[in-house]
Structure 1
Amino acid sequence: MLDVVDIGKRSLATYRGIAPDEILDELHWLSEDLRGARCMHLSSTPYGGGVSEILRSLVPLYNDLGIVTDWKLIHGDDTFFQVTKRIHNGLQGAPGELTEREKATYLANAQLNAHRLVTNSENYDFVFVHDPQPAVLAALSPHLDARWIWRCHIDTSHPNPTFWDFLSPYLHAYDAAIFTMREFIPPQLPISDVRIYPPAIDPLSPKNHPLPEALARDVLEWIGIRTHRPLVTQVSRFDRWKDPLGVVRAYQRVRPHVPDLQLALAGSLAMDDPEGWDVYEELRAATAGDSLIHILTNLVGVGNIEVNALQAVSDVVVQKSLREGFGLVVAETLWKSTPVVGGRVGGIPMQLPEGTGGALVDTVEECAEAMLHLLRRPDEAHLLGARGHEHVRQHLLMPRLLVDHLRLLKHLAAVRPLPPRGIVPVSFNPASLQGV
């Protein structure tokens, strides 16, 4: 059996006054014809990245609307996840090729997961498959009468042909695909119905819920950050595409001008990303002996609350990615009205339109200049952060992503009608969602 991720309950009514009213109103009527339908989201890990953070908030909201939804995980050993990491990198354009042994490892694990899926299908009407790790399961599970959606969260605009040629024949079984940006759609995608839905953050999650300033500062002092000194932070996986070593070099350029400046590199080590340990060790070696650089991980107790505090208290947050699907940490930081210096890649520019949120950079030198500029001009930094907060409120909160998903489900159900289902009671108050 596939593992089911245990999730809590959420109510859409609690977003009233936070997310735009028109979005909450639309969710009420979009969900009417879908109540009682069964949906599954399938991914590779329950923690350590944007996909898991989105699903932890999104799945309970599906259920709140009466769409019976589970979040399940594929199985795999270390060898399998080493191969999927290579596929992940290859689809983002990394050089190299898969060996026949690696292909066999990937497909053997996929066959086992397909068997577990078929024997525990529970008559799902919709199946969302997230990213490359489980991507072949739609083709390997032909007996499931579901509408299959592949949600690709990474930049596959210029995939390494050897990796894409291996994966793409298995994608024909999908009814629809979702990408963050139109530019990310790979060449000759064998899926005709393609949607562009940017990700979103949950303003009521522990990572984004407002913290009293005194509590946020106490949390940082507890983990070794001195809150009376200026602070620059990057929050991301320990991944070479996030360029943490580039952030260190940019910080080292700024440090002579701001002698007491601290740098926090907060990263998660996820079970589906064995390469993260190598990057973590490289960072430790590169920063050894500098007491003002703090390398923080989920394995030493740095979780959502600590990240929340880091993003809220930092003077500047950096997301200097070299390749990026979206970069949810940018929206998370802007929600706290903290300015961001972001790499001009992937979905980061759509979060930092001109004059809003911070600055876009291409090089280590530009990153250092932008950091120093914002540190020296706190009033300008505050204004950019405030504009960023409003941009996120209008475009990048979880109810908007739920609207996108429900529009797609309604379309797929219209193309191929759902079987009769019992109507599932919903916990939300429709009057509250309609603002009545």
Structure 2
Amino acid sequence: MSASTVNNRTQLQAFTPERIYDPAEFAPYIGKDKVEGLKKLAAPLEGAGWANVNSTLIGGGVAEILRSAIPLGLGLGLDARWHVIQGNDAFFQVTKKFHNMLQGMDLDISLDEIFDAYLGTIDQNAQNTFIASDLVVIHDPQPAAMVMNGFIFGNVLWRCHIDTSEPNRTVWRFLLPYINHCAGAIFTTPQFVGPGLQIPLYQITPCINPLTDKNHQFSEEEALDVLRPLLNEHDVDPERPIVAAISRYDIHKNQETVLKAFQTYREQSAPDPAPYLIFLGNTATDDPEGDAMLAHLQEVAGDDPDVRFWVNVPDNDRVVGALNRIAKTFVHVSTREGFGLVVSEAMWQGTPVIGSRTGGIVNQIRHGETGFLVDPMDTATISKHLGTLLDDPDQAQQMGERAREHVREHFLLPELVRRYLILISYYTGRCNEPPHFRLNDLSYSEVICIMRPRHPALSR
């Protein structure tokens, strides 16, 4: 019996796509040959199950990716699903601590937080829940402990979207048994792999979807039409240059340094007209610190006449794409970053990016060609590159055009889904050759399979 015929009974919140993507829709962006290659890879997998579990339907890069990857998986004939665990404020507070501690922060964490707020919530989600699929991808620390609750059947892989290379030992030692219980783990880049992993490891780079409203390649006139209500509401003159900073409000996003660098450039160069700095960001249900970070940033900005905050705006996706299109430069100088989808989104609109030498940002920006890479706290250098891009529009335009082509070649959605197709082929035994994006020498085997529950309906 195929996994697709098993009843996925679950109390978890489920994603229902508004549409299914025909792979041919991507031909204008990646070419017909790559589309045909994708369809050929998917053909033997028709009806195969691909389930995903995370902690929020909205907000953040994981939800952004799944919202596009699931419809394309369905369009390629997979039984693609996305389940979302439920939690209260205490759960998201402790998993936010997990997130920060996995990225090296030294925080206090209590046994009550671990056993009551975290494991208690996991147990509640596990009640009356059953997921069976050929490949089950558990995203990040929030649902990690679900792999041992005995209700997930199939090949379970942990997908880590953050940098665990130097994790806090306490939280890493707590999570490591759950991760090593999986049939494999997926990382954005080899540099993010944490210590002590004893399972096969793979690399999948996040990608953006050119078919979404956000990534529609706007003309300047189209972009201004989309933004006009916000420009009027916030008293922004579209004839003046705009510096954009788009992300959730998070200590690692380092927005305060962006603000200081912008103010330094303005004070030292005295440009006429002065540019605007527009922070655009949404709050996420699994990030309880976002509101506090936003309030702090607004306090630091004070009554600066050239700084604007656009928060949870209507028609958010189109606003993001339109703002990226008219911005003269985009700044994203995170101190920690899994990948930073916003960088590729800005580059796709032809906007050069000033980004930090952090995480996956390094893979996206070619220094001096498609934008600039900086140390995240180097206010002076960020300010200098703002001057380069704002004071020389021709150079900025050339860099933006090269940035768009770099994204087209490396960071569009079909490539991400292609790698998941390869993993499904490998873990279901349709292909015995290890994926070319494997990061270590460990291979899937029946020994690994025996170590975790497998539902009889998945037997072949």
| TM-score (ref. length: structure 2) | 0.87
Residue 12 of structure 1, CA deviation: 1.1
2:330 aligns with 317
C-alpha distance in 1 between matches for 2:149 and 2:193: 23
- Tell me the distance in 2 between the aligned counterparts of 1:116 and 1:255: 58
Alignment of 1:368 onto 2:383: yes
Aligned match of 1:113: 125
Aligned to 2:143: 134
Residue identity matched to 2:280: A
What is the DSSP-based 3-state SS (H/G/I as helix, E as strand, rest coil) of the residue aligned with 2:137? strand
Residue 6 (str. 1) matches residue 16 (str. 2): yes
Instruction: Select between 262-271 and 214-223 the one with higher mean Cα deviation.
Output: 214-223
1:270 to 268, 284, 298: 284
Structure 2 Cα separation of the partners of residues 145 and 55 of structure 1: 21
Match of 2:398 among 376, 383, 395: 383
Are the aligned partners of 1:2 and 1:116 in contact in 2 as well (CA < 8 Å)? no
**2:265 corresponds to which residue?**
254
Which residue of structure 2 aligns with residue 37 of structure 1? 48
Between 213-222 and 346-355, report the one with greater CA deviation. 213-222
Q: Is the 8 A contact 1:74 1:113 kept in 2?
A: yes
| Conserved? CA contact 2:243–2:331, under 8 Å | yes
The AA in structure 2 aligned to 1:409 is I
How far apart in 2 are the matches of 1:74 and 1:420? Answer: 24
Please state if 1:334 is matched with 2:347: yes
CA distance in structure 1 between the aligned counterparts of 2:37 and 2:201, rounded to whole angstroms: 22
List per-residue Cα deviations over 1:308-364 (Å, max 9, x = no partner). Answer: 111000000000111110000111111111100001100101101234310001111
The match for 1:148 among 134, 142, 156 is 156
CA RMSD for the aligned pairs?
1.7
Aligned-partner residue type, residue 111 of structure 1: D
Shift of 1:287: 1.5
Structure 2: 5+ residue runs without aligned partners?
A: 1-10, 430-444
Percent of aligned pairs with the same amino acid? 37
Give the letter for the 1:204 counterpart: L
From 172, 184, 194, give the equivalent of 2:192.
Answer: 184
Question: Aligned in 2, Cα 1:377/1:20: closer, same or farther, shift over 3 Å?
Answer: same
Which consecutive residues of structure 1, in runs of 5 or more, have no partner in the other structure?
422-436
- C-alpha change, 1:140 and 1:391, in structure 2 (3 Å) is same
The answer for the alignment partner of 1:291 in structure 2 is 305
How far apart are residue 20 of structure 1 and its match? 4.0
1:356 aligns with 2:364: no
Quote the offset at 1:114 in angstroms. Answer: 2.3
Post-superposition offset of 1:302: 5.7
1:84 to 63, 79, 95: 95
Q: Which amino acid in the other structure matches residue 132 of structure 1? A: P
* 1:71 pairs with 2:82: yes
Distance 1:22 1:53 in 2: 26
* Cα pair distance change 1:369/1:237, threshold 3 Å: same
Determine the C-alpha separation between the residues in 1 that align with 2:367 and 2:297: 32
- Please name the residue that 1:158 is paired with: 166
Question: For 1:130-161, what per-residue CA distance to the aligned partner results, in whole angstroms no more than 9, with x for missing partners?
Answer: 111001111222x5331101111011111011
Aligned to 1:282: 296
How many residues are paired up?
Answer: 415
Offset of residue 113 of structure 1: 1.6
Deviation at 1:19, TM superposition (A): 1.3
* Alpha-carbon distance, 1:94 to partner: 0.6
In 2 relative to 1, CA 251–355 (structure 1 residues): closer, same or farther, beyond 3 Å?
closer
Give yes or no for the alignment of 1:26 onto 2:37. Answer: yes
